[in-house]
Structure 1
Amino acid sequence: MPLQLDMTGRVVLVTGGTRGVGAGIAAVFLRAGARVEICGRTAPRDAPAADGTAARFSRVDVRDPDEVARWVADTAARHGRIDVAVNNAGGAPFADFATASPRFHRKVTDLNFLAPVFVCREVFPVMDGQDDGGTVVNITSIGARRPSPGTAVYGAAKAALESLTASLAVEWAPRVRVNAVSCGLVATPGATDHYGDAEQTARVAATIPRGVFARPADIGAACLMLASPLAAHITGAVLNVDGGGEWPAFLHHTPNAEALRAHTHER
Protein backbone atom coordinates (compact mmCIF):
# COMPACT_ATOMS: atom_id res chain seq x y z
CA MET A 1 0.00 0.00 0.00
CA PRO A 2 1.48 3.39 -0.93
CA LEU A 3 0.08 5.09 2.20
CA GLN A 4 0.89 3.35 5.46
CA LEU A 5 -0.87 4.22 8.71
CA ASP A 6 1.06 3.78 11.94
CA MET A 7 -0.48 1.40 14.49
CA THR A 8 2.69 0.90 16.54
CA GLY A 9 1.85 -0.16 20.09
CA ARG A 10 -1.76 -0.96 19.26
CA VAL A 11 -3.23 -4.37 20.08
CA VAL A 12 -5.52 -5.86 17.46
CA LEU A 13 -7.72 -8.96 17.68
CA VAL A 14 -8.80 -10.71 14.47
CA THR A 15 -11.16 -13.66 14.73
CA GLY A 16 -10.70 -16.28 12.04
CA GLY A 17 -7.35 -14.68 11.26
CA THR A 18 -5.58 -17.86 10.21
CA ARG A 19 -6.43 -17.87 6.50
CA GLY A 20 -8.24 -16.10 3.68
CA VAL A 21 -9.66 -12.68 4.43
CA GLY A 22 -8.75 -12.91 8.11
CA ALA A 23 -5.09 -13.59 7.36
CA GLY A 24 -5.08 -10.65 4.94
CA ILE A 25 -6.53 -8.36 7.61
CA ALA A 26 -3.96 -9.55 10.16
CA ALA A 27 -1.08 -8.98 7.74
CA VAL A 28 -2.20 -5.40 7.00
CA PHE A 29 -2.25 -4.53 10.71
CA LEU A 30 1.12 -6.20 11.22
CA ARG A 31 2.62 -4.07 8.44
CA ALA A 32 1.24 -1.04 10.24
CA GLY A 33 3.20 -2.02 13.36
CA ALA A 34 0.37 -3.44 15.48
CA ARG A 35 0.59 -6.40 17.81
CA VAL A 36 -1.91 -8.83 16.31
CA GLU A 37 -3.71 -11.67 18.06
CA ILE A 38 -5.61 -14.14 15.89
CA CYS A 39 -7.81 -17.06 16.79
CA GLY A 40 -9.39 -20.06 15.17
CA ARG A 41 -10.26 -23.67 15.83
CA THR A 42 -7.19 -24.98 13.97
CA ALA A 43 -3.66 -23.64 14.21
CA PRO A 44 -2.32 -22.32 10.89
CA ARG A 45 0.70 -23.90 9.25
CA ASP A 46 2.17 -20.41 8.98
CA ALA A 47 0.71 -17.56 11.00
CA PRO A 48 0.24 -14.25 9.15
CA ALA A 49 3.46 -12.24 9.36
CA ALA A 50 5.00 -9.00 8.11
CA ASP A 51 8.45 -7.47 8.52
CA GLY A 52 9.60 -10.39 10.64
CA THR A 53 6.71 -10.20 13.10
CA ALA A 54 4.01 -12.87 13.22
CA ALA A 55 0.52 -12.79 14.66
CA ARG A 56 0.02 -14.76 17.85
CA PHE A 57 -2.45 -17.62 17.50
CA SER A 58 -4.89 -18.89 20.14
CA ARG A 59 -7.15 -21.88 19.68
CA VAL A 60 -10.66 -20.51 20.25
CA ASP A 61 -14.13 -21.53 19.14
CA VAL A 62 -15.73 -18.09 18.89
CA ARG A 63 -19.18 -19.67 19.10
CA ASP A 64 -18.42 -20.52 22.74
CA PRO A 65 -18.82 -17.45 24.99
CA ASP A 66 -16.60 -18.93 27.70
CA GLU A 67 -13.73 -19.51 25.29
CA VAL A 68 -14.11 -15.98 23.92
CA ALA A 69 -14.08 -14.54 27.46
CA ARG A 70 -10.87 -16.42 28.32
CA TRP A 71 -9.17 -15.29 25.10
CA VAL A 72 -10.04 -11.63 25.55
CA ALA A 73 -9.07 -11.67 29.25
CA ASP A 74 -5.75 -13.36 28.50
CA THR A 75 -4.97 -10.90 25.71
CA ALA A 76 -5.79 -7.90 27.90
CA ALA A 77 -3.71 -9.29 30.74
CA ARG A 78 -0.66 -9.85 28.55
CA HIS A 79 -0.78 -6.54 26.68
CA GLY A 80 -2.54 -4.31 29.15
CA ARG A 81 -4.96 -3.09 26.48
CA ILE A 82 -7.04 -3.99 23.40
CA ASP A 83 -7.42 -1.28 20.79
CA VAL A 84 -9.13 -2.97 17.85
CA ALA A 85 -11.32 -6.05 17.47
CA VAL A 86 -12.11 -7.32 13.98
CA ASN A 87 -14.98 -9.82 13.89
CA ASN A 88 -14.00 -11.68 10.75
CA ALA A 89 -14.80 -15.34 11.51
CA GLY A 90 -17.77 -16.46 9.46
CA GLY A 91 -19.01 -18.11 6.32
CA ALA A 92 -21.41 -20.83 5.26
CA PRO A 93 -21.50 -23.64 2.68
CA PHE A 94 -24.13 -23.57 -0.02
CA ALA A 95 -27.33 -25.22 1.18
CA ASP A 96 -30.98 -25.32 0.17
CA PHE A 97 -32.91 -23.51 2.89
CA ALA A 98 -35.94 -25.83 2.90
CA THR A 99 -33.95 -29.05 3.24
CA ALA A 100 -31.08 -27.92 5.51
CA SER A 101 -31.48 -29.05 9.09
CA PRO A 102 -32.33 -26.82 12.06
CA ARG A 103 -28.91 -27.71 13.47
CA PHE A 104 -27.25 -26.40 10.28
CA HIS A 105 -29.17 -23.12 10.44
CA ARG A 106 -28.27 -22.70 14.11
CA LYS A 107 -24.56 -23.26 13.47
CA VAL A 108 -24.53 -20.68 10.66
CA THR A 109 -26.26 -18.16 12.92
CA ASP A 110 -23.96 -18.91 15.85
CA LEU A 111 -20.82 -18.33 13.77
CA ASN A 112 -21.91 -15.31 11.78
CA PHE A 113 -23.92 -13.42 14.38
CA LEU A 114 -23.62 -14.70 17.95
CA ALA A 115 -19.83 -15.08 17.79
CA PRO A 116 -19.37 -11.34 17.06
CA VAL A 117 -21.90 -10.62 19.83
CA PHE A 118 -19.72 -12.54 22.30
CA VAL A 119 -16.51 -10.81 21.17
CA CYS A 120 -18.09 -7.35 21.34
CA ARG A 121 -19.44 -8.06 24.80
CA GLU A 122 -16.00 -9.04 26.12
CA VAL A 123 -13.87 -6.33 24.51
CA PHE A 124 -16.15 -3.44 25.45
CA PRO A 125 -15.19 -3.12 29.14
CA VAL A 126 -11.50 -3.27 28.21
CA MET A 127 -11.81 -0.57 25.56
CA ASP A 128 -14.17 1.56 27.62
CA GLY A 129 -11.62 1.64 30.44
CA GLN A 130 -8.84 3.00 28.21
CA ASP A 131 -8.12 6.70 27.90
CA ASP A 132 -8.46 6.56 24.12
CA GLY A 133 -11.22 3.95 23.97
CA GLY A 134 -11.16 1.48 21.09
CA THR A 135 -12.83 0.38 17.91
CA VAL A 136 -14.69 -2.67 16.62
CA VAL A 137 -14.91 -3.62 12.95
CA ASN A 138 -17.48 -6.23 11.96
CA ILE A 139 -16.96 -8.03 8.65
CA THR A 140 -20.25 -8.41 6.84
CA SER A 141 -21.26 -9.22 3.27
CA ILE A 142 -23.15 -7.94 0.27
CA GLY A 143 -25.43 -10.88 1.06
CA ALA A 144 -26.80 -8.84 3.97
CA ARG A 145 -28.58 -6.40 1.66
CA ARG A 146 -29.45 -8.38 -1.44
CA PRO A 147 -30.98 -11.83 -1.94
CA SER A 148 -28.64 -14.59 -0.84
CA PRO A 149 -30.12 -17.80 -2.31
CA GLY A 150 -28.24 -20.87 -1.17
CA THR A 151 -26.85 -18.99 1.82
CA ALA A 152 -30.06 -17.42 3.08
CA VAL A 153 -29.37 -17.74 6.80
CA TYR A 154 -25.81 -16.48 6.30
CA GLY A 155 -27.18 -13.35 4.60
CA ALA A 156 -29.74 -12.89 7.35
CA ALA A 157 -27.08 -13.26 10.05
CA LYS A 158 -24.89 -10.66 8.34
CA ALA A 159 -27.88 -8.31 8.13
CA ALA A 160 -28.35 -8.78 11.86
CA LEU A 161 -24.66 -7.98 12.38
CA GLU A 162 -25.07 -4.72 10.46
CA SER A 163 -28.03 -3.82 12.66
CA LEU A 164 -25.97 -4.65 15.75
CA THR A 165 -23.18 -2.41 14.42
CA ALA A 166 -25.53 0.58 14.20
CA SER A 167 -27.00 -0.03 17.66
CA LEU A 168 -23.69 -0.51 19.46
CA ALA A 169 -22.24 2.57 17.78
CA VAL A 170 -24.92 4.58 19.60
CA GLU A 171 -24.81 2.66 22.89
CA TRP A 172 -21.01 2.83 23.14
CA ALA A 173 -20.35 6.33 21.85
CA PRO A 174 -18.20 8.28 22.24
CA ARG A 175 -15.45 6.03 23.66
CA VAL A 176 -15.85 2.94 21.45
CA ARG A 177 -16.49 3.23 17.74
CA VAL A 178 -18.24 0.36 15.94
CA ASN A 179 -18.27 0.02 12.15
CA ALA A 180 -18.66 -2.70 9.54
CA VAL A 181 -16.93 -3.61 6.30
CA SER A 182 -19.26 -5.20 3.77
CA CYS A 183 -17.27 -7.50 1.50
CA GLY A 184 -18.06 -8.33 -2.06
CA LEU A 185 -16.35 -11.24 -3.82
CA VAL A 186 -12.82 -11.86 -2.53
CA ALA A 187 -10.02 -13.88 -4.11
CA THR A 188 -9.01 -16.41 -1.46
CA PRO A 189 -7.49 -19.91 -1.72
CA GLY A 190 -10.98 -21.35 -1.26
CA ALA A 191 -12.64 -19.16 -3.89
CA THR A 192 -12.68 -21.93 -6.49
CA ASP A 193 -14.91 -23.99 -4.18
CA HIS A 194 -17.58 -21.32 -4.64
CA TYR A 195 -16.93 -19.92 -8.11
CA GLY A 196 -15.41 -22.80 -10.09
CA ASP A 197 -12.27 -23.06 -12.20
CA ALA A 198 -10.26 -20.16 -13.64
CA GLU A 199 -12.58 -19.69 -16.60
CA GLN A 200 -15.72 -19.73 -14.46
CA THR A 201 -14.10 -17.39 -11.92
CA ALA A 202 -13.23 -14.94 -14.70
CA ARG A 203 -16.87 -14.90 -15.79
CA VAL A 204 -17.93 -14.20 -12.23
CA ALA A 205 -15.36 -11.38 -11.94
CA ALA A 206 -16.83 -9.81 -15.07
CA THR A 207 -20.07 -9.21 -13.13
CA ILE A 208 -18.18 -6.80 -10.84
CA PRO A 209 -17.92 -3.25 -12.22
CA ARG A 210 -14.18 -3.12 -11.52
CA GLY A 211 -13.81 -6.47 -13.25
CA VAL A 212 -11.77 -8.12 -10.50
CA PHE A 213 -12.24 -9.78 -7.14
CA ALA A 214 -11.03 -7.95 -4.04
CA ARG A 215 -7.80 -9.11 -2.45
CA PRO A 216 -7.79 -9.98 1.27
CA ALA A 217 -5.43 -7.01 1.69
CA ASP A 218 -8.13 -4.72 0.27
CA ILE A 219 -10.44 -5.75 3.11
CA GLY A 220 -7.57 -5.31 5.55
CA ALA A 221 -6.88 -1.79 4.28
CA ALA A 222 -10.51 -0.82 4.89
CA CYS A 223 -10.34 -2.21 8.43
CA LEU A 224 -7.09 -0.35 9.07
CA MET A 225 -8.58 2.93 7.91
CA LEU A 226 -11.67 2.51 10.10
CA ALA A 227 -9.47 1.68 13.09
CA SER A 228 -7.20 4.69 12.53
CA PRO A 229 -7.48 8.36 13.54
CA LEU A 230 -8.57 9.08 9.95
CA ALA A 231 -11.95 7.63 10.94
CA ALA A 232 -12.21 9.40 14.29
CA HIS A 233 -15.72 10.68 13.52
CA ILE A 234 -16.95 7.55 11.76
CA THR A 235 -19.08 5.15 13.78
CA GLY A 236 -22.15 3.10 12.93
CA ALA A 237 -21.11 3.01 9.26
CA VAL A 238 -21.07 0.14 6.79
CA LEU A 239 -18.25 0.55 4.28
CA ASN A 240 -18.79 -1.33 1.01
CA VAL A 241 -15.61 -2.93 -0.34
CA ASP A 242 -17.12 -4.64 -3.36
CA GLY A 243 -15.64 -3.10 -6.51
CA GLY A 244 -18.89 -1.30 -7.28
CA GLY A 245 -21.25 -4.12 -6.37
CA GLU A 246 -22.86 -6.14 -9.13
CA TRP A 247 -24.07 -5.37 -12.64
CA PRO A 248 -27.88 -5.01 -12.70
CA ALA A 249 -29.22 -8.13 -14.34
CA PHE A 250 -31.38 -6.24 -16.83
CA LEU A 251 -28.30 -4.67 -18.43
CA HIS A 252 -27.27 -8.07 -19.77
CA HIS A 253 -30.31 -8.00 -22.03
CA THR A 254 -30.16 -4.45 -23.40
CA PRO A 255 -28.85 -3.61 -26.91
CA ASN A 256 -25.93 -1.58 -25.54
CA ALA A 257 -24.89 -3.99 -22.80
CA GLU A 258 -21.62 -5.16 -24.37
CA ALA A 259 -20.50 -1.67 -25.33
CA LEU A 260 -21.22 -0.35 -21.87
CA ARG A 261 -19.40 -3.21 -20.16
CA ALA A 262 -16.37 -2.85 -22.43
CA HIS A 263 -16.18 0.89 -21.82
CA THR A 264 -16.39 0.43 -18.06
CA HIS A 265 -13.68 -2.23 -17.90
CA GLU A 266 -11.34 -0.39 -20.28
CA ARG A 267 -11.28 2.55 -17.90
Structure 2
Amino acid sequence: MTDTRQVVVVTGGTRGVGAGIARSFLAAGARVVVCARRPPAAPVEAAGRSAEFRALDLRDAEAARAFFAGAVADHGAVDALVNNAGGTPFGLLAESTAARQTKIVELNLLAPLYASLAAHEVMRTQETGGSITMIGSVSGSRPSPGSGAYGAAKAGLENLAATMAVEWAPAVRVNTVVLGLARTESAALHYGDEEGIARVAATVPLGRLADPSDVGDACVFLASDRARYISGAALHLHGGGERPAFLAAASVNH
Protein backbone atom coordinates (compact mmCIF):
# COMPACT_ATOMS: atom_id res chain seq x y z
CA MET A 1 0.00 0.00 0.00
CA THR A 2 1.35 3.38 -0.98
CA ASP A 3 2.06 6.05 1.61
CA THR A 4 -0.97 8.30 2.06
CA ARG A 5 1.29 11.31 1.70
CA GLN A 6 2.43 10.35 -1.78
CA VAL A 7 1.71 12.63 -4.71
CA VAL A 8 1.28 10.58 -7.87
CA VAL A 9 1.01 11.69 -11.51
CA VAL A 10 -0.72 9.35 -13.97
CA THR A 11 -0.45 10.36 -17.62
CA GLY A 12 -3.47 9.52 -19.74
CA GLY A 13 -5.24 8.88 -16.44
CA THR A 14 -8.68 10.02 -17.52
CA ARG A 15 -9.97 6.77 -19.05
CA GLY A 16 -9.22 3.11 -19.68
CA VAL A 17 -6.17 1.61 -18.04
CA GLY A 18 -4.98 5.05 -16.93
CA ALA A 19 -8.17 5.72 -14.99
CA GLY A 20 -7.87 2.29 -13.40
CA ILE A 21 -4.34 3.12 -12.28
CA ALA A 22 -5.49 6.45 -10.86
CA ARG A 23 -8.33 4.75 -8.94
CA SER A 24 -5.94 2.22 -7.42
CA PHE A 25 -3.71 5.01 -6.12
CA LEU A 26 -6.71 6.94 -4.81
CA ALA A 27 -7.93 3.83 -2.99
CA ALA A 28 -4.45 3.46 -1.48
CA GLY A 29 -4.61 6.99 -0.11
CA ALA A 30 -2.40 8.92 -2.52
CA ARG A 31 -3.05 12.37 -3.90
CA VAL A 32 -3.42 11.78 -7.62
CA VAL A 33 -2.97 14.18 -10.53
CA VAL A 34 -4.06 12.93 -13.95
CA CYS A 35 -3.20 14.61 -17.21
CA ALA A 36 -4.39 14.39 -20.79
CA ARG A 37 -5.08 16.80 -23.61
CA ARG A 38 -8.79 16.90 -22.79
CA PRO A 39 -10.64 16.66 -19.45
CA PRO A 40 -12.57 13.48 -18.61
CA ALA A 41 -16.33 13.34 -19.07
CA ALA A 42 -16.60 12.73 -15.32
CA PRO A 43 -14.07 13.02 -12.49
CA VAL A 44 -11.88 9.97 -11.84
CA GLU A 45 -12.92 8.84 -8.36
CA ALA A 46 -12.35 6.04 -5.86
CA ALA A 47 -12.81 5.60 -2.11
CA GLY A 48 -14.73 8.86 -1.91
CA ARG A 49 -11.84 10.85 -3.34
CA SER A 50 -11.16 12.42 -6.76
CA ALA A 51 -8.10 12.80 -8.93
CA GLU A 52 -7.07 16.31 -9.92
CA PHE A 53 -7.07 16.90 -13.68
CA ARG A 54 -4.55 19.12 -15.47
CA ALA A 55 -4.43 19.53 -19.23
CA LEU A 56 -1.13 18.63 -20.89
CA ASP A 57 0.13 17.68 -24.33
CA LEU A 58 2.89 15.26 -23.36
CA ARG A 59 4.60 15.61 -26.73
CA ASP A 60 5.64 19.13 -25.70
CA ALA A 61 8.79 18.80 -23.57
CA GLU A 62 8.63 22.34 -22.20
CA ALA A 63 4.97 21.95 -21.29
CA ALA A 64 5.89 18.78 -19.40
CA ARG A 65 8.54 20.66 -17.42
CA ALA A 66 6.05 23.38 -16.52
CA PHE A 67 3.47 20.76 -15.54
CA PHE A 68 5.75 19.07 -13.02
CA ALA A 69 7.02 22.36 -11.66
CA GLY A 70 3.41 23.40 -11.11
CA ALA A 71 2.54 20.11 -9.41
CA VAL A 72 5.44 20.54 -7.00
CA ALA A 73 4.48 24.15 -6.33
CA ASP A 74 0.92 23.13 -5.45
CA HIS A 75 1.51 19.80 -3.69
CA GLY A 76 5.04 20.08 -2.35
CA ALA A 77 6.42 17.07 -4.23
CA VAL A 78 5.90 14.50 -6.95
CA ASP A 79 6.70 11.11 -5.48
CA ALA A 80 5.64 8.84 -8.33
CA LEU A 81 4.99 9.07 -12.05
CA VAL A 82 3.15 6.45 -14.07
CA ASN A 83 3.72 6.89 -17.80
CA ASN A 84 0.50 5.36 -19.07
CA ALA A 85 -0.49 7.63 -21.97
CA GLY A 86 -0.17 5.90 -25.33
CA GLY A 87 -1.92 3.63 -27.76
CA THR A 88 -2.47 3.21 -31.48
CA PRO A 89 -5.23 2.53 -34.00
CA PHE A 90 -4.95 -0.63 -36.08
CA GLY A 91 -3.12 -0.03 -39.35
CA LEU A 92 -0.79 -2.05 -41.53
CA LEU A 93 2.49 -0.26 -42.15
CA ALA A 94 2.27 -0.33 -45.95
CA GLU A 95 -1.22 1.17 -45.80
CA SER A 96 -0.21 4.04 -43.52
CA THR A 97 1.99 7.13 -43.89
CA ALA A 98 5.33 8.09 -42.41
CA ALA A 99 3.70 11.07 -40.69
CA ARG A 100 1.12 8.87 -38.96
CA GLN A 101 3.76 6.40 -37.76
CA THR A 102 5.88 9.27 -36.47
CA LYS A 103 2.99 10.49 -34.32
CA ILE A 104 2.58 6.99 -32.86
CA VAL A 105 6.25 6.89 -31.89
CA GLU A 106 6.04 10.40 -30.44
CA LEU A 107 3.11 9.44 -28.20
CA ASN A 108 4.42 6.06 -27.06
CA LEU A 109 8.15 6.74 -26.70
CA LEU A 110 9.03 10.42 -26.81
CA ALA A 111 6.17 11.60 -24.59
CA PRO A 112 7.15 9.21 -21.74
CA LEU A 113 10.76 10.34 -22.19
CA TYR A 114 9.79 14.00 -21.85
CA ALA A 115 7.59 13.32 -18.81
CA SER A 116 10.30 11.25 -17.15
CA LEU A 117 12.97 13.89 -17.72
CA ALA A 118 10.70 16.53 -16.20
CA ALA A 119 9.81 14.31 -13.24
CA HIS A 120 13.47 13.48 -12.64
CA GLU A 121 14.30 17.17 -12.36
CA VAL A 122 12.11 17.42 -9.27
CA MET A 123 12.53 13.90 -7.86
CA ARG A 124 16.33 14.03 -7.74
CA THR A 125 16.20 16.96 -5.31
CA GLN A 126 13.66 15.35 -2.97
CA GLU A 127 14.90 13.68 0.20
CA THR A 128 12.89 10.54 -0.60
CA GLY A 129 13.65 10.57 -4.34
CA GLY A 130 10.89 9.11 -6.47
CA SER A 131 9.55 6.29 -8.59
CA ILE A 132 8.75 6.15 -12.30
CA THR A 133 6.74 3.34 -13.86
CA MET A 134 6.40 2.86 -17.60
CA ILE A 135 3.36 1.06 -18.98
CA GLY A 136 4.86 -1.14 -21.63
CA SER A 137 3.30 -3.83 -23.78
CA VAL A 138 3.86 -7.39 -24.89
CA SER A 139 3.80 -5.85 -28.37
CA GLY A 140 7.33 -4.67 -27.62
CA SER A 141 8.69 -8.21 -27.52
CA ARG A 142 6.82 -9.96 -30.34
CA PRO A 143 5.74 -9.17 -33.90
CA SER A 144 2.83 -6.73 -33.86
CA PRO A 145 1.06 -6.73 -37.25
CA GLY A 146 -1.28 -3.76 -37.41
CA SER A 147 0.65 -1.88 -34.74
CA GLY A 148 4.26 -2.01 -35.88
CA ALA A 149 5.37 1.46 -34.82
CA TYR A 150 3.59 1.02 -31.49
CA GLY A 151 5.41 -2.25 -30.81
CA ALA A 152 8.74 -0.72 -31.75
CA ALA A 153 8.09 2.25 -29.46
CA LYS A 154 7.17 -0.02 -26.56
CA ALA A 155 10.35 -2.03 -27.07
CA GLY A 156 12.29 1.21 -26.91
CA LEU A 157 10.38 2.31 -23.83
CA GLU A 158 11.39 -0.79 -21.87
CA ASN A 159 15.03 -0.30 -22.84
CA LEU A 160 14.79 3.38 -21.92
CA ALA A 161 13.43 2.51 -18.48
CA ALA A 162 16.29 0.10 -17.84
CA THR A 163 18.82 2.78 -18.78
CA MET A 164 17.13 5.40 -16.60
CA ALA A 165 17.20 2.95 -13.69
CA VAL A 166 21.00 2.81 -13.95
CA GLU A 167 21.61 6.50 -14.63
CA TRP A 168 19.19 7.86 -12.03
CA ALA A 169 19.90 5.49 -9.14
CA PRO A 170 19.79 5.68 -6.21
CA ALA A 171 17.45 8.67 -6.04
CA VAL A 172 14.87 7.51 -8.60
CA ARG A 173 13.68 3.96 -9.25
CA VAL A 174 12.41 3.18 -12.77
CA ASN A 175 10.46 0.06 -13.76
CA THR A 176 8.17 -1.19 -16.53
CA VAL A 177 4.84 -2.98 -16.34
CA VAL A 178 4.68 -5.07 -19.51
CA LEU A 179 0.96 -5.27 -20.16
CA GLY A 180 -0.82 -7.93 -22.17
CA LEU A 181 -4.42 -7.85 -23.35
CA ALA A 182 -6.63 -5.52 -21.29
CA ARG A 183 -10.35 -4.94 -21.11
CA THR A 184 -11.37 -1.28 -21.22
CA GLU A 185 -14.27 0.70 -22.65
CA SER A 186 -12.54 0.56 -26.04
CA ALA A 187 -11.94 -3.20 -26.07
CA ALA A 188 -14.62 -3.72 -28.72
CA LEU A 189 -12.62 -1.57 -31.15
CA HIS A 190 -9.78 -4.08 -30.99
CA TYR A 191 -11.50 -7.40 -30.32
CA GLY A 192 -15.02 -7.02 -31.72
CA ASP A 193 -18.26 -7.79 -29.88
CA GLU A 194 -18.65 -9.65 -26.58
CA GLU A 195 -18.26 -12.98 -28.34
CA GLY A 196 -15.01 -11.81 -29.91
CA ILE A 197 -13.74 -10.52 -26.57
CA ALA A 198 -14.55 -13.88 -24.98
CA ARG A 199 -12.65 -15.74 -27.70
CA VAL A 200 -9.62 -13.51 -27.20
CA ALA A 201 -9.82 -13.93 -23.41
CA ALA A 202 -9.83 -17.70 -23.89
CA THR A 203 -6.33 -17.49 -25.40
CA VAL A 204 -4.97 -16.15 -22.10
CA PRO A 205 -3.91 -18.88 -19.65
CA LEU A 206 -5.68 -17.17 -16.74
CA GLY A 207 -8.86 -17.08 -18.83
CA ARG A 208 -9.57 -13.35 -18.93
CA LEU A 209 -8.27 -10.00 -20.10
CA ALA A 210 -6.54 -7.76 -17.60
CA ASP A 211 -8.78 -5.36 -15.71
CA PRO A 212 -7.47 -1.80 -15.29
CA SER A 213 -7.42 -2.43 -11.55
CA ASP A 214 -4.94 -5.28 -12.10
CA VAL A 215 -2.57 -2.79 -13.70
CA GLY A 216 -3.26 -0.21 -11.02
CA ASP A 217 -2.47 -2.57 -8.17
CA ALA A 218 0.86 -3.48 -9.79
CA CYS A 219 1.71 0.21 -10.16
CA VAL A 220 0.82 0.93 -6.53
CA PHE A 221 3.18 -1.84 -5.46
CA LEU A 222 6.06 -0.60 -7.62
CA ALA A 223 5.66 2.93 -6.26
CA SER A 224 5.52 1.74 -2.66
CA ASP A 225 8.26 1.17 -0.12
CA ARG A 226 7.64 -2.57 -0.46
CA ALA A 227 9.33 -2.30 -3.86
CA ARG A 228 12.21 -0.24 -2.50
CA TYR A 229 14.86 -2.57 -3.96
CA ILE A 230 13.15 -3.03 -7.33
CA SER A 231 14.51 -0.90 -10.16
CA GLY A 232 15.23 -1.64 -13.80
CA ALA A 233 12.70 -4.46 -13.69
CA ALA A 234 10.06 -5.48 -16.22
CA LEU A 235 6.97 -6.91 -14.52
CA HIS A 236 4.99 -9.00 -17.01
CA LEU A 237 1.28 -8.52 -16.41
CA HIS A 238 -0.20 -10.74 -19.10
CA GLY A 239 -2.09 -13.50 -17.35
CA GLY A 240 0.45 -16.12 -18.30
CA GLY A 241 1.11 -14.91 -21.82
CA GLU A 242 -0.14 -16.57 -24.98
CA ARG A 243 -0.47 -20.26 -25.73
CA PRO A 244 1.88 -21.23 -28.59
CA ALA A 245 -0.06 -21.24 -31.87
CA PHE A 246 1.54 -24.51 -32.99
CA LEU A 247 -0.30 -26.39 -30.23
CA ALA A 248 -3.66 -25.40 -31.69
CA ALA A 249 -2.45 -26.12 -35.22
CA ALA A 250 -1.30 -29.57 -34.16
CA SER A 251 -4.51 -30.20 -32.19
CA VAL A 252 -2.48 -30.94 -29.07
CA ASN A 253 -4.50 -30.58 -25.90
CA HIS A 254 -2.41 -28.90 -23.20
Normalising by structure 1, we get a TM-score of 0.93
The residue number in structure 2 matching 1:242 is 238
Is 1:156 the counterpart of 2:156? The answer is no
Is 1:141 the counterpart of 2:137? The answer is yes
Asked whether the equivalents of residues 180 and 238 of structure 1 are also in contact (C-alpha less than 8 Å), the reply is yes
Deviation by residue 1:24-75 (Cα, 9 ceiling, x = unmatched):
0000000011000000111111121122210000111111112211211110
The residue number in structure 2 matching 1:20 is 16
Aligned residue-pair number: 254
Runs of 4+ residues deviating >3 angstroms? none
Counterpart CA distance in 1 for 2:228 and 2:144 is: 33
- 1:2-81 matches, within 5 Å, as 5-81=1-77
- 1:163-174 matches, within 5 Å, as 163-174=159-170
From the superposition, tell whether residues 191 and 139 of structure 1 become closer, same or farther in structure 2 (CA, over 3 Å): same
Asked whether the equivalents of residues 169 and 178 of structure 1 are also in contact (C-alpha less than 8 Å), the reply is yes
Counterpart CA distance in 1 for 2:252 and 2:181 is: 26
Runs of at least 5 residues in structure 2 that lack an aligned partner in the other structure: none
The residue number in structure 1 matching 2:86 is 90
The residue number in structure 2 matching 1:218 is 214
Is 1:199 the counterpart of 2:195? The answer is yes
Please state whether the residue corresponding to 2:10 is helix, strand or coil. Answer: strand
Counterpart CA distance in 1 for 2:94 and 2:238 is: 29
Percent of residue pairs identical? 49
Deviation by residue 1:154-183 (Cα, 9 ceiling, x = unmatched):
000000000001100000011100000011
The residue number in structure 2 matching 1:180 is 176
- Aligned AA for 2:23? A
Aligned-pair CA distance for 1:153: 0.3
- Aligned AA for 1:60? L
- 1:120-131 matches, within 5 Å, as 120-131=116-127
Asked whether the equivalents of residues 7 and 29 of structure 1 are also in contact (C-alpha less than 8 Å), the reply is no
Aligned-pair CA distance for 1:242: 0.4
Please state whether the residue corresponding to 2:94 is helix, strand or coil. Answer: coil
Counterpart CA distance in 1 for 2:59 and 2:251 is: 50
The residue number in structure 1 matching 2:102 is 106
Deviation by residue 1:57-94 (Cα, 9 ceiling, x = unmatched):
01111111122112111101111111000000000001
- Aligned AA for 2:162? A
Counterpart CA distance in 2 for 1:182 and 1:99 is: 28
Asked whether the equivalents of residues 27 and 50 of structure 1 are also in contact (C-alpha less than 8 Å), the reply is yes
Aligned-pair CA distance for 1:255: 4.0
Aligned-pair CA distance for 1:253: 2.4
Counterpart CA distance in 1 for 2:146 and 2:57 is: 25
Please state whether the residue corresponding to 1:181 is helix, strand or coil. Answer: strand
Normalising by structure 2, we get a TM-score of 0.98
Runs of at least 5 residues in structure 1 that lack an aligned partner in the other structure: 261-267
Deviation by residue 1:202-250 (Cα, 9 ceiling, x = unmatched):
1111111111001000000111111111111110011000000111001
Aligned-pair CA distance for 1:254: 2.9
